[in-house]
Structure 1
């Protein structure tokens, strides 16, 4: 009689835990089971998104997995340090990220990480082995993998583009010279607007103003200088030597220019040897015409102007559009278009109208709002330009800058030029934050302030500016009360 041997236990029965692990293991799954392979596929794709490199570490090439995991942890650490520094001192963060080498390094790191993510995603799909998963799940796993790749690596690529745009903008817009100290408690900026459109052989400054920012409080005072102001004095420099008694216009009548302040750019740049007058202008990121206008503005206002900002009005509309438009309250109906005043006083070239009332203006409308002058006076136009400047400042909110950074940076690098060094950006940004909470003071050097641009009283103008920048302290109440 034969004796029957008992059945041999399976490996799973001999090692209960091991059998369950083999069935659902990510590294050694039961490839013959579509259910197990499908579940494994979903897990691998999600792991690759949540922790790049983890799918390879658990189910594939561990060396590639280590590269992915280490890169991920390093990037997370850098982001965490950036957030902490930003919370503790965002000025320090801005100082670091306003240097081109840091922005270039950030761009390279982000692009490299995006490429690594692509490699890890492709390798993850290889590990999934789509032919082994359920047919109905194949498309879903592949689609989810691609969607997560686009969301993750696309974000890294976009961040690298922002870093590149910031680097290019800083390099093209800002200067590289040394920072200058405040003068009498203020940083003063000469703000110039001109149109260098097609066909222009010269450039007249259509808008001239000085923005004075209190170095401690951030309080802003904008002084508008009429472009037709005559006989302007100059601060110490080459133009004062030529015109010690005020600007009299160029001696050569063939130049065709008179003694208005907005003629200086053409007079110095076309009719004079500007480079001989201001030999350091180009090296400092300026031009002889701008330097002559700066000397004139200093003489008119009686203050020191550390920096200039030039805005090319030909591309001004692009910046407004990049900001998403501006909100303006229009006082009176204004025409749009390249207008011409006919001999009989009528206007031609009108392409539309800017109606009175509250409006959200696009770039083209805002440009004509600042330019329109035939139906109003130059003084009214100055007020509108100052109003538009304030509206633009109001639009520079953190949300707008972050969501529209690419367009703002692109437009800014095309139309804005300044000698403000990039090293001043953190300090100026801090002042800008303080300024947002305060009302902007404006001074228009017009008849409203007893200023006749054709025959200005410059002592009176100096007094106006000083009283605005340094208002007298309140007199103590008699008896010592408050």
Structure 2
């Protein structure tokens, strides 16, 4: 069969595989078709106009990718714990990083091969530039995206290795993981850190049902759980009859006393990615609430400021005027030059820290401060959007690893992250053991235990 400029198309040939290279209009349409097919279904251009073997391999991988995506979507809605296990441990992140690198290399090779198949020298000049420019842009986006993914997974793996180094995995208690949350504040003039915010998050490992319990830092006396070495020192409870070994006998003083004076009671604490102060506080909260606590998370409020700045600030609503700095002289607040006014504000790290820690401006004192800390934590979680992560990922990861200490193992991060995702569609139960319903100076622990069990079950 004779075609075009005396050229011959082999028997059984097709315009895509064996085109009439003398027909520029045909070659232009062919180039556009192959370019579009390459973008929509990688490997299809090779199957139709190049190496069928290469095309079949790439199409097979493309199909596997779509199947994996469908499975991932099903898991996201049904059992996100399984899906989130991959990007929340070092092995999974290494696999994702390797996959991103392989994808970038394959995309470059496949695109270059597609350009060869297009035979752009036979395409009309106007379309030639458009097709080549489009492929170059897509190549840049694909390789750039894969490169960013490889870099981000590397940063995440490093940060996870720093913050979540523990390998001990505990089983859930009655199907729940109970995690102690401490907001630490080692301010000027203090001998050691004292947790200003003390709470427990209880998460159902399967359903994601979440319950939080808040204990005022001035709770006393506090019973230690059975088996606690501190219970031998304070059999009637820490602070009973004003008895302790530091200046203030309250719940948050336990951390300071154990850390500074009772290190010998917890010889394995550091090896287990904890400390004497954290372990003693954990045992006290176990005794107060009547439930076991498997893990802890300590947020250093001093390092909290860079985390907020890394996010680009956080938006919160102040229900009363709050001072930044200042001190009390003769019963009056003095020395305040800057205030956080009542209303909604976008705060930088320094002001967000004062929003969370300010002791003045409310008749409720510490209880109001606990509520503001909860509000700030919730605002940060909800304002962590994909654009922020894309543009500030390295700063957020670095600041987050510096702000958090924990004995949570990487192996459980997927389970807890998935449970947290499920909890968003459920009502979270928040129980605060504060005035007026509860008196921290005269706690009724039998009643507290009943309330805890009722909230959990």
Same fold (TM over 0.5): yes
Separation of aligned partners in 2, 1:52 and 1:471: 53
Aligned counterpart for 1:110 among listed residues 96, 100, 104: 100
Structure 2: give runs of 5+ residues left out of the alignment: none
Separation of aligned partners in 2, 1:88 and 1:333: 44
Does the aligned pair in 2 maintain the 1:334–1:372 contact within 8 Å?
Answer: yes
State yes or no: 1:292 paired with 2:280.
Answer: yes
Match of 1:11 in 2: 2
Q: CA RMSD of the aligned region, Å?
A: 4.1
Does the aligned pair in 2 maintain the 1:194–1:312 contact within 8 Å?
Answer: yes
Give me the TM-score of the superposition, normalised by structure 2. 0.79
State yes or no: 1:334 paired with 2:322.
Answer: yes
Structure whose alpha-carbon radius of gyration is higher: 1
Separation of aligned partners in 1, 2:119 and 2:188: 61
Match of 1:49 in 2: 39
Q: How does 1:176-255 map to 2 (within 5 A)?
A: 176-182=167-173, 187-195=177-185, 202-213=192-203, 220-235=210-225, 236-247=227-238
Q: How does 1:387-466 map to 2 (within 5 A)?
A: 387-392=375-380, 395=382, 404-405=388-389, 407=393, 411-425=399-413, 427-428=415-416, 429-430=418-419, 433-434=422-423, 436-446=425-435, 448-452=436-440, 456-458=441-443, 460-466=444-450
Give me the TM-score of the superposition, normalised by structure 1. 0.75
SS of 1:470 mapped into structure 2: helix
Structure 1: give runs of 5+ residues left out of the alignment: 1-9, 474-482
Decide whether aligned partners of structure 1 residues 133 and 339 sit closer, same or farther in structure 2, where only a CA change above 3 A counts: farther
Separation of aligned partners in 1, 2:118 and 2:206: 61
SS of 2:130 mapped into structure 1: helix
Q: Tell me by how many angstroms 1:72 deviates.
A: 2.9
Does the aligned pair in 2 maintain the 1:322–1:404 contact within 8 Å?
Answer: no
Does the aligned pair in 1 maintain the 2:297–2:405 contact within 8 Å?
Answer: yes
Separation of aligned partners in 1, 2:176 and 2:54: 57
Report the more deviating stretch, 381-390 or 359-368.
359-368
Match of 2:298 in 1: 310
State yes or no: 1:369 paired with 2:359.
Answer: no
Q: How many residues get paired?
A: 444
Aligned counterpart for 1:348 among listed residues 335, 340, 364: 335
Deviations 1:381-412 (CA, angstroms, capped at 9, x unpaired): 1232234445556x28xxx6656555465554
Does the aligned pair in 2 maintain the 1:173–1:417 contact within 8 Å?
Answer: yes
Deviations 1:271-323 (CA, angstroms, capped at 9, x unpaired): 44x2x321232333222211011122223334332221211223435555777
Q: How does 1:376-391 map to 2 (within 5 A)?
A: 376=362, 377-391=365-379
SS of 1:176 mapped into structure 2: coil
Match of 1:480 in 2: none
Match of 1:5 in 2: none
